[in-house]
Amino acid sequence: MNRHTAYLASWPRMGLGTLVTGLADLVFAMGFWWISHQVAPLRILQSIAAGWYGDASFAGGARSASVGALSHFAIIFCFILAYRQAAARWPLLRMHPRAVGAIYGLGLYLLMNFVVLPLSAAGMAKFNNLAWVLGSIAIHALIGVLCAHYALGGSPSAGKRASSAAGMPTNSA
């Protein structure tokens, strides 16, 4: 398999990774808010759309929930793609995908809560629910590991084979 073919073959894995990672995050968020405050799953998706529409997203019904779902999966795809692009340049990301992935996920948490949300129509995140904050930090570490896993090929030995499996340059060059 040449590098171009390997590169093209990685896109379906990244799509699968987007689905798996995005669903893991949504199941966490929907489960947490349903169990702790009986918040309907539709409202979680609307809260994502609040980044576009602000509080008006909660009156948008299924339409704003759809925008929230699409936005959520698009963001997750970008997270995976960013890790993949960085891993092509920095071998450490390929050699230690679990550890670096977890750190990457913590960085994503900081980016989303202190840069993206404040710049969106949703505004600054509230940190008044300790269980939610701690759970969010933990799920972001997992999201980072999943991003690394799928960015590097999505197999159990992805970190060992990532250079060739995903069409990335090897360290021996």
> Residue 172 falls within a domain, yes or no?
no
> Residue 50 falls within a domain, yes or no?
no
Contact 140, 106 (CB under 8 A): yes
| Tens-digit pLDDT profile for residues 36-64 | 999 999 999 999 999 999 999 999 999 99
Alpha-carbon dihedral 92, 94, 98, 99, rounded to 10 degrees: 0
Local structure of residue 152 (DSSP, 8 states): T
**How much is the pLDDT for 153?**
86
> Residue 44 falls within a domain, yes or no?
no
Local structure of residue 166 (DSSP, 8 states): T
Expressed as residue numbers, the domain containing 93 is: 3-36+72-165
Task: Please give the Cα distance from 32 to 38 (Å, whole number).
Answer: 9
Q: How many domains does the chain have?
A: 1
Per-residue pLDDT band at 173 (split at 50, 70, 90): very low
> Residue 41 falls within a domain, yes or no?
no
> Residue 136 falls within a domain, yes or no?
yes
Task: Please give the Cα distance from 18 to 81 (Å, whole number).
Answer: 10
Torsion-angle region of 54 (φ positive above 0: left; ψ -120 to 50: alpha; else: beta): left
**How much is the pLDDT for 172?**
36
Local structure of residue 126 (DSSP, 8 states): P
| Tens-digit pLDDT profile for residues 2-34 | 554 555 558 899 999 999 999 999 999 999 999
Residue identified by tokens 């409202």 is 43
- CA gyration radius, the chain: 17
Q: pTM to 2 decimals?
A: 0.86
Query: Residue 46 class from Cβ within 10 Å (0-12 exposed, 13-18 middle, 19+ buried)?
Result: buried
> Residue 76 falls within a domain, yes or no?
yes
Contact 140, 88 (CB under 8 A): no
**How much is the pLDDT for 10?**
82
> Residue 106 falls within a domain, yes or no?
yes
> Residue 59 falls within a domain, yes or no?
no
